[in-house]
Amino acid sequence: MSSSSDRANRVSFNLTNRAHTIPPQLLDMQCRAFYIEFLQVDSDGLSVERRANAKNHATFKIDFHGDYDGILGVRLDMRPDVDSESIRSDNRTNSFSQGDLYLVPRVYGGRSDSTCRTIELPVNQGVRLRHLLKSIMDEGLHIFSFICINNKHLGCRDFVTQALYKMHSARLVSPDIKDTVPREQELRVGDAYNALGMRFRSDPRGQGRACPIDKGKFEFHTRVEAAYMPYDGSQAAIQLINYLAIMTTQQPEVASRPISGSFAGKVAIVTGAGSAGDGIGNGRAAAILLAEQGASVLCVDREKEWANRTVEMITTEGKGKGLAFYGDVTKATDCEAMVSAAVSAFGRLDILVNNVGIGGARGTAVDVDMVEWAAGMEVNVGSMVLSAKYAIPAMQKNSGQVRGAIVNMGSVAGIRGGTPHLLYPTSKGAIVNMTRAMAAHHAPDGIRVNCVCPGMLYTPMMYAGGMSEEAREARRKRSLLGTEGNGWDAGCAVRFLASDEARWITGVILPVDAGATCAVGSDLPKTASVSN
């Protein structure tokens, strides 16, 4: 007759209804450093007994009744009242902290005999990994997984491999079941965690070796997610393992190289994409360059003829797709319609280039007209916010790690400040810090946000009002390189920041100014010595 304390430590249950939940009693069965994490059976039931003996060992007695096809998981969980044991191998030390390592023997089969297995896990001195592995492997559970849930302790995979190696004095050989790699090809010990179907035994020559086994897996995983594992046995039920994903082993991911300069399949919106006549402004240059590399571009401008001409430049050379859109990006209705037009025409939205800007109100804080000030801030800053407001939700619908890219057009005036008027450097400085804030806000969405800050480029906006050759020459001399830039220089910077080549770049403020923000060319010393 079982005592009340025995009954308290024993849980029996059936999963004949193929339930998709873990009995809560199991999650509460703690014995200092260890507890049962997950149990799954096909039918007839499973009972688990937990007890601690006089030597302070935790013993889990697992009784499988009838046919079964299930999983037993034991989590190594060093609690504050248990000293962590250092795993030593070849004078190397690695300590496990709380929850670092899961040991998951995976039982396959449909055996008809009643089975009783007992696994003793010593906790008084911590756990020597080699002994723990041996106790599991000796039970004939030839399929097991290791899940390292603390990325800082990814190195413990090497200690598991070392323990297996020393325990069996075995050479590690290729376990490829399909024999695509010779079985005798030796693997480095540190590479064994990539192997599938590994089991150790002695060959007729008395030498230890690892050999492949059908359906076997030797797994390491480093991600903990609320994920489901498909089960291949007769049960076919799917269980959630307490937010622990047991995933199919894959080879380490090889970093994919981005296709240089390719925007194939991408859709972009460029605001301020027009220029007077055939002039090349920043927006027109960006639109043409994106289209040349395969993007479909919605060219937005208030001037219908300007936008149409940009589209003609794109389509005449036959290097991309362009569509003109006439709208005022200071109006929410136009921004919403702009995004809808791009999605309707091309199916998605990947890139937004916020390029609209004006010189705006003149004067200092003393004499600036506040109505003109508000209008200038609305164009230079507010239009970018409105465009992003409607573009970002469309980008969020894309798949992949990077779902969209926004490039804001600022100015070196937003970095350095400047004269003679207050509005322009103030608004461009706002764009700089707006870019950083947007990058932080939308990084979790996989949306990158960067800013291009052109210097004194020679664009239609500059020369439309008339510029003397003397003034043009003076602008050229204000750069370190002593050369003149134009809209193509800004457009190339936009193209790069919008591309997959910049997939790891966000929140960046990129000056395109031939070094003007570093120093003034005419003031540079003639030699490396500033004293000469």
Residue type, 32: R
Dihedral over Cα of 378, 384, 388, 391: its sign: positive
Final residue in a domain of this structure, among 192, 221, 250: 221
In this structure, the answer to whether residues 342 and 490 fall within a common structural domain is yes
How far is Cα 275 from Cα 284, in angstroms, rounded to an integer? 7
In this structure, the answer to whether residues 45 and 113 fall within a common structural domain is yes
Residue type, 252: P
In this structure, the answer to whether residues 342 and 483 fall within a common structural domain is yes
Residue type, 19: A
In this structure, the answer to whether residues 345 and 272 fall within a common structural domain is yes
Final residue in a domain of this structure, among 221, 241, 257: 221
Tokens representing 123?
């906790």
In this structure, the answer to whether residues 198 and 283 fall within a common structural domain is no
Tokens representing 495?
């193209």
pLDDT at 517: 85
In a domain, 48, yes or no: yes
Contact 36, 29 (CB under 8 A): yes
Query: At CA 226, angle to CA 224 and CA 227, rounded to 5?
Result: 90
- Of 50-54, 118-122, 200-204, 357-361, the range with the highest mean pLDDT is 357-361
| 363: DSSP letter | S
Final residue in a domain of this structure, among 221, 255, 275: 221
Dihedral over Cα of 354, 360, 366, 369: its sign: negative
In a domain, 232, yes or no: no
pLDDT at 313: 95
| 523: DSSP letter | G
In a domain, 67, yes or no: yes
In this structure, the answer to whether residues 20 and 158 fall within a common structural domain is yes
Residue 494's closest CA among 332, 396, 357, 353?
353
Residue 437 has pLDDT above 70, yes or no: yes
Any catalytic annotation for residue 424?
yes
In a domain, 278, yes or no: yes
pLDDT, tens digit, for every residue of 113-144? 333 333 333 333 333 444 444 444 443 333 33
Q: What is the pTM of this model?
A: 0.55
Q: How many other C-beta atoms can be found within 10 angstroms of the C-beta atom of residue 111? A: 13
pLDDT, tens digit, for every residue of 387-435? 999 999 999 999 888 999 999 999 999 998 877 899 999 999 999 999 9
Percent of the chain scored above 70 by pLDDT?
47
pLDDT band, very low/low/confident/very high, at 63 (cuts 50, 70, 90): very low
In a domain, 227, yes or no: no
Residue 319's closest CA among 281, 348, 293, 342?
293
In this structure, the answer to whether residues 167 and 295 fall within a common structural domain is no
Q: Inter-axis angle of helices 304-316 and 282-292, to 10 degrees?
A: 30
How far is Cα 37 from Cα 76, in angstroms, rounded to an integer? 10
Q: Is residue 167 classed as helix, strand or coil in its secondary structure?
A: helix
Using the structure block, give the residue that is written with the tokens 């809209």. 487
Pairwise pLDDT comparison (33 vs 468), residue with the higher score: 468
Q: Is residue 326 classed as helix, strand or coil in its secondary structure?
A: strand
In a domain, 251, yes or no: no
* Domain span holding position 136: 4-221
pLDDT band, very low/low/confident/very high, at 443 (cuts 50, 70, 90): very high
In a domain, 114, yes or no: yes
How far is Cα 137 from Cα 185, in angstroms, rounded to an integer? 24
Contacts of 204 (CB under 8 A, 6+ apart): none
C-alpha 6: how far from chain center: 48
Domain containing residue 379: CATH number: 3.40.50.720
Tokens representing 352?
């937004």
Q: Is residue 205 classed as helix, strand or coil in its secondary structure?
A: coil
How far is Cα 476 from Cα 460, in angstroms, rounded to an integer? 16
Contacts of 465 (CB under 8 A, 6+ apart): none
Count structural domains, the chain: 2
How far is Cα 427 from Cα 476, in angstroms, rounded to an integer? 24
Q: List the catalytic residue out of 68, 108, 231, 424.
A: 424
In this structure, the answer to whether residues 217 and 307 fall within a common structural domain is no
How far is Cα 284 from Cα 274, in angstroms, rounded to an integer? 6
pLDDT band, very low/low/confident/very high, at 482 (cuts 50, 70, 90): confident
Mean pLDDT calculated for residue range 346-357: 97
pLDDT, tens digit, for every residue of 165-187? 444 433 333 333 232 323 333 33
Contacts of 60 (CB under 8 A, 6+ apart): 34, 36, 48, 49, 50, 74, 118, 119, 121
In a domain, 252, yes or no: no
In this structure, the answer to whether residues 329 and 203 fall within a common structural domain is no
| 520: DSSP letter | -
How far is Cα 279 from Cα 288, in angstroms, rounded to an integer? 12
pLDDT at 293: 93
DSSP per position, 68-96: ---EEEEEE---TTSPPPEEEETTEEEE-
Residue 17's closest CA among 42, 49, 54, 47?
42
In this structure, the answer to whether residues 201 and 288 fall within a common structural domain is no
Burial code of 128-163, b = ≥16 C-beta within 10 A, e = fewer? Answer: ebbebbeebbeeebbbbbbbbbeeebeebbbbbbbb
In this structure, the answer to whether residues 215 and 353 fall within a common structural domain is no
